[in-house]
Structure 1
Amino acid sequence: MPQNSESRPLPRENQRERNSHPAYRPDIDGLRAIAILSVVLFHACPTAVQGGFVGVDVFFVISGFLISTIIFKSLVRGDFSFGQFYAHRIKRIFPALLVVILSCFAFGWAALFPPELQQLGKHIAGGTGFVQNFVLWGESGYFDIDSESKPLMHLWSLAIEEQFYLIYPLFVFVAWRLRRNILAALLVLTTLSFVLNVQGVQTDPVRTFFLPQTRFWEILAGSLLAYAQTFEVVKIQRLQGWLRSHGSDALARNALSIAGFILIVGTVFGLNSDMQFPGWLAVPPVAGSFLLLLAGPTAYVNRTLLKNRTLVFVGLISYPLYLWHWPILSFLRIIVGQSAPLTLRLAAVGASFVLAWLTYRLVERPIRRGRNTSAKTAALCTFALVAFAVGYSTFSSTGYPSRRVAMDNSYASAKAQFESNAPSACGNDQAFAGLEPVCTKYLAAGATQTVFLWGDSSAEAWSPVFRQIAYQRNMNVIVVSHPACPPIIGVRETSFEFPLEQQYCGDGKTGEKVLRAIRASKPSAIFLIGAWDYFGPFHHSALTDSPDDKTATEKTTIKALSDKVPATLNALSSIAKVVVFKSWPILGSDPDYGVVRLPFLGRTTSRELQTNERHELEGAFINEIFEKSNVANITYFDPSHAICATVCATTKDGVRLYSDRYHITAAGSILFEKQIAKLIPVGD
């Protein structure tokens, strides 16, 4: 995460603060420019600059180098102050951050639907609390909105840096006071973090990408260089003298700078987001940044490219540019769609530059300069608390559904027009113990036939059509619908973000409880309804069938499905007829239905939908498992056949089919009444 020119000298009126900074190196701002341009181009044109995300890793190294230089030199002089250090960090970080966060909230209030604004509120709280990396890690699951639709997603890197700044100064200060070997301690921490990174990327790449302990080694790489240039000056001067005496000093510097530049550019254009990152693949950009900083301002690349006035200017505004560019691109995607034309994306980038420059000139510089540091720090902290409260309130209020944008758009779905028996609780029946609150019975007076629906949240979404049929036939319907929990006996799901009390299949025993309830209900038909595609290679959700596995992976998921799906089908088919609903097609984004985000834009319907080819590809793995199960008397029902041609439709016969990316509407389910009625045995 770029932060605005740590090496930039401050005004004379605060001599102590000025002396705490290293001498200004314009080539570092040039390096920042390379990093921020890589990130911006990756976000705006991901197919052209596929590895541009490594710009964040470059920023990590720069931050570690500059912050450590400040701390080490202050310790040597004996004037290090925690209060001054954190006040300085607040004055650098908060001004631009608060402007961007509150601007996002204002725009989101006008343009976002309640679920989207609720998500934004959570991210505002996470961003101002500097825990956004943990928030995003927890969201890599079932109901997660696409990362491109999270305007504050990019604050994860700022959170990691601030978590580092919270721990690192105290660690160094204590080691200094106790006269411990700081270099040895830094080497141990760097090695430990790097090992955790390499190991973690193999088993849980999402966790490894977002958590601080697996990213600190990149910041510490800059700290090691700062240590050498602060405490090993004599040795460095001797080495330089020896090189000069052999005519090799300039040659060595030039070689280091060229090698560093090649490593960074090579990863920017050589990596892509499908590769396991960070891991070993993060070494080249980190090493490249280290070498360019080590080479110094007189090295060839540093003096000819990085000190270019245009790049230095971009480096100076790199922090506000980082903050602005992603929300603008994200809001563009939300409003226009995934297929926003290149011209609009480039215009968004241009707007980001303008806003970054204005933020730098009108907000950052006035606050950083001048006196009244204590008053400024207190005011900024107060505004940060206000922003946190705004975010938390927005999240807890479920996105303020009474706003005009929510009221003007029938976003959720059309209501189903159907008749149904009144629901009753399952908890008073011992056979259903442990299945509350996700079990509902619809009982008909004198009914002799029962249909049992078991599934994840998709089962509840499909229940209206079954209740309609049951009302007409005088049948009972029992629905057990566990969000994020597939209808399979003997599996555990370990990656969803639900609170502990809602992790219905986290213990692997849910399936046995449902099986007991099914046997007691004596149904004439059992319907298994799940979003099976979520456990394939295109989504994050994962399963395990082992009670010892703490984390599920793609490998454990395939094993669990291959073993447990046939076993589940065999167990259920011995009780009654079994019908398996295949996955309802998952859209690329929430359906628009001709919504009005902003009145002056009119109605927009351009958001990218699911193609039939993509839907078949996402479900290929589970369909293969179903085919290999070889269980007799299993019927499969694929609702996508009725709506997917080249593209999967979002409306049918004038009825809206999707309540969100994942679920069918109540009215949409009624459209399948005839097909589903044929799957239910006629009672006696």
Structure 2
Amino acid sequence: MNKGFRKDINGLRAWAVLAVVLYHFAIPGISGGFAGVDVFFVISGYLMTAIVILGLEGERFSLGGFYLARARRIFPALIAVCVAVLIAGWFLLMLDEYQQLGRHVRDSLLFISNVRYFKESGYFDSASHEKWLLHTWSLSVEWQFYMLLPVLLLLVWKFFPGRRKALLALAAVFVASLVVCIVWTLDNRDMAFYQLQARAWEMAAGGLIFLLSQRVRLSALAARYCEWLGFILIVATFLWVDAQSLWPGWLALMPISGTCLVLLAAREHSHWTGTAAAQWLGSRSYSIYLWHWPLVVGLANLELLSQVQWVVAGIALSVVLGHFSYVLIETPLRKQSRAWRPRREALALVACLLLVAIAAQLIRKTGIPDRLPAEVATFEAQRENRNPRQAECLDSGEPCIYGGEDVQVVVLGDSHADTVVTALEASLPSEQAGVYFRGMPGCLMVFGAKKVDEERTGCLQLVDWLEADHQTLYPGMPMVLIDRTSFHLWGGHDPEEGVPLGTPGVYFSKKYAETTPEFLQEFRAQYLKTACSLAAERPLYLMRPIPEMGINVPLAMGRSLLRGSPREVFITREAYHARHAFVWSVQDEAREKCGARILDPLPYLCDDERCYGSKDGTALYYDDDHLNEVGNRLLVPMLKTIFAPAVIDSAAQ
């Protein structure tokens, strides 16, 4: 047994990595498994504080030696995983995906990936399954803490030697960081999740437990109860918290407190941590953690993550790769490197790290397009084949005129309206005719609708403007409302844009945690109020929802082509109607009560059984739910009916 080795800490690592792996592979019941990372943070804080304090007390602490030991522990397996994903990406990823991977590898090796992922999107977003190294955010946070902790303790020890002042310094870090964490979680959950300032308290908690444990002596019975309470808190977090919880915030006190209690109990022969299985997993926990997430992303890339047999295989392979990484990389390199001179070892580790980081930077610059078949480039182009005035007219929320100055129709809505407006421009009866467009991403054009996230105040102003001024907006001209209405009612197919499935994205009188009959009744009343008010002043057209494919169409087609198996993307009409039946019923009621007219895109995008995301190898969407400039042109015959009143009833209703 290694001197100072604690079986309880090693076994606790097993619990943490098992929770994280099962959560990421979406095993039912482990809704809070991501809190395993918080357990790791406390353990790291405990061990690092112990190393520094004991070194200072023995007058043998070396800052350079501390950093070298951390690099020896972390670098080799991390470099191996980064090289592996770059090789896999060469064969599996489209151009911009490979460029993104290069950026992520670089930032992971420079230990700033937590900052990168904070800027890009949230940990719980659907886009997380496109980020092969998302899990390295926690390594970056830990490394940043490793850089600062010994410096802090060295400075305190220089002027105020002794554990008491070191404890007070860590306590100050704990309190300040915890306050930051709670405040940021309420204001910006992603910032609190990824940034060291909001996570340092978790590692400081481990350090405090080390310092306190030297003064606290528990009886065998008290230690047993302490450990049991600790594991109850940890396991309860794994089972109770979920991706919609305000995390980390005050809720993180549960696993942090639980881990602290287990560390304080220090029971070496516990049934919780002392079993052979727990010890085996704990020893390999770092490598298992490193390898499991790329396997999750790989299965998602191959669209296999929902299949039980592949999930089981992925978990098993995570453990197998973790074992071989531990046996072939971690252990031998740690032993062999100690035979080298420290300077030589440090140079070798840093050189390997920088070599892979530089290669990743070159990939970030170009994506190496020559590796892709020529036909795959077509799908890359289709991903950008969208309204060329999107930034000017949609993202800004400012009004735009498409076509000539003689406005013949007014179009309002969200990003789905933006995808149709150029097709409407192509439908105009003359070169002088024009389209007035105004919209905003994610903005539902229904009187009184407010965004649940309350960050898009521009949307609320736009909706208020519509209610107040619609009578004077090109009086008598036809108006077309186009929205991703079902998304605002039911959320997305994945937890995207902060609106997971089953959760409304808007509210009126009060917020609803889920889409209830009461919310739908209120929505129906507000929608009809809006439609009747608008239809009283002009011809009003309500467009049926555009089919949502559930996957990024050109991306999926390009990936399939890279694997040598071309595909077409579609959903069934049954799935379409299951998603949009309520919106259809409300629109039908608006037609009956208010005289609104219906524009139905299904005859142009669907047949009797399927709604198509692609046709004859050509993508009709630029992502999962937005028509591109090819797909929207299929709607031109439908849109022309707006300017041909004689055929409206037969063609547009």
Provide Cα deviations, 1:566-624, integer angstroms capped at 9, x if missing partner: 99989988996554546534443223798474789542759996996688669979998
Provide Cα deviations, 1:377-403, integer angstroms capped at 9, x if missing partner: 334334434444444554454x45554
2:433 to 471, 475, 491: 475
Q: 2:275: which partner in 1? A: 308
Provide Cα deviations, 1:254-273, integer angstroms capped at 9, x if missing partner: 22223333333333334443
Count, aligned residues: 620
1:172 aligns with 2:153: yes
Partner amino acid, structure 1, of 2:197:
Q
> 3-state SS of the aligned residue for 2:85?
helix
- Does structure 2 retain, via aligned residues, the 8 Å contact 1:125–1:388? yes
1:674 aligns with 2:637: yes
2:229 to 254, 259, 271: 259
Partner amino acid, structure 2, of 1:292:
V
1:332-351 to structure 2, matched below 5 A, reads 332-339=299-306, 341-351=307-317
Q: 2:167: which partner in 1? A: 183
- Structure ranking higher in helix proportion: 2
Deviation at 1:105, TM superposition (A): 1.8
Change (3 A) 1:592 1:475: closer
TM-score (norm 1): 0.74
1:664 aligns with 2:627: yes
Consecutive unaligned residues of structure 2, counting only runs of 5 or more, are: 500-504, 512-521, 647-653
1:488-503 to structure 2, matched below 5 A, reads none
1:100-499 to structure 2, matched below 5 A, reads 100-140=81-121, 146-179=127-160, 181-229=165-213, 233=214, 235-236=215-216, 239=217, 249-298=219-268, 300-301=269-270, 304-339=271-306, 341-368=307-334, 369-370=337-338, 371-397=340-366, 399-401=367-369, 403-404=371-372, 407-408=375-376, 410-411=378-379, 441-443=402-404, 448-453=406-411, 455-470=413-428, 475-477=433-435
> 3-state SS of the aligned residue for 2:627?
coil
Partner amino acid, structure 2, of 1:524:
M
Partner Cα distance (2:454, 2:333) in 1: 42
- Does structure 1 retain, via aligned residues, the 8 Å contact 2:121–2:127? no
Provide Cα deviations, 1:163-221, integer angstroms capped at 9, x if missing partner: 32233332222222232833233233323433444454445444433333333322222
Higher mean alpha-carbon deviation, 525-534 vs 663-672, is at 525-534
Provide Cα deviations, 1:511-567, integer angstroms capped at 9, x if missing partner: 979x99998988934445444566565555479xxxxxxxxx9779978x9999999
Q: 2:517: which partner in 1? A: none
Change (3 A) 1:523 1:381: farther
Higher mean alpha-carbon deviation, 576-585 vs 48-57, is at 576-585
1:590 to 537, 548, 552: 552
> 3-state SS of the aligned residue for 1:476?
strand
Deviation at 1:289, TM superposition (A): 1.8
Change (3 A) 1:416 1:227: closer
Higher mean alpha-carbon deviation, 129-138 vs 657-666, is at 129-138
Higher mean alpha-carbon deviation, 176-185 vs 646-655, is at 646-655
Partner Cα distance (2:26, 2:462) in 1: 46
Partner amino acid, structure 2, of 1:251:
L
Partner Cα distance (2:547, 2:191) in 1: 28
> 3-state SS of the aligned residue for 2:167?
helix
> 3-state SS of the aligned residue for 2:134?
coil
Deviation at 1:510, TM superposition (A): 12
Higher mean alpha-carbon deviation, 463-472 vs 473-482, is at 473-482
> 3-state SS of the aligned residue for 1:24?
coil
Q: 1:3: which partner in 2? A: none
Partner Cα distance (2:399, 2:356) in 1: 36
Higher mean alpha-carbon deviation, 476-485 vs 563-572, is at 563-572
Give the aligned CA root-mean-square deviation in angstroms. 5.1
What is the percent sequence identity of the aligned residues? 27
Change (3 A) 1:372 1:486: farther
Higher mean alpha-carbon deviation, 73-82 vs 24-33, is at 73-82
Change (3 A) 1:410 1:158: same
Consecutive unaligned residues of structure 1, counting only runs of 5 or more, are: 1-7, 10-21, 241-248, 498-502, 544-552
Deviation at 1:277, TM superposition (A): 3.0
Partner Cα distance (1:310, 1:82) in 2: 35
Partner amino acid, structure 1, of 2:21:
V
1:39 to 1, 4, 20: 20
Provide Cα deviations, 1:66-85, integer angstroms capped at 9, x if missing partner: 11111111222233333222
Provide Cα deviations, 1:91-126, integer angstroms capped at 9, x if missing partner: 222221121122112211211123433432342233
Q: 2:515: which partner in 1? A: none
TM-score (norm 2): 0.77
Partner amino acid, structure 1, of 2:221:
L
Change (3 A) 1:542 1:491: farther
Change (3 A) 1:130 1:512: farther
> 3-state SS of the aligned residue for 2:553?
coil
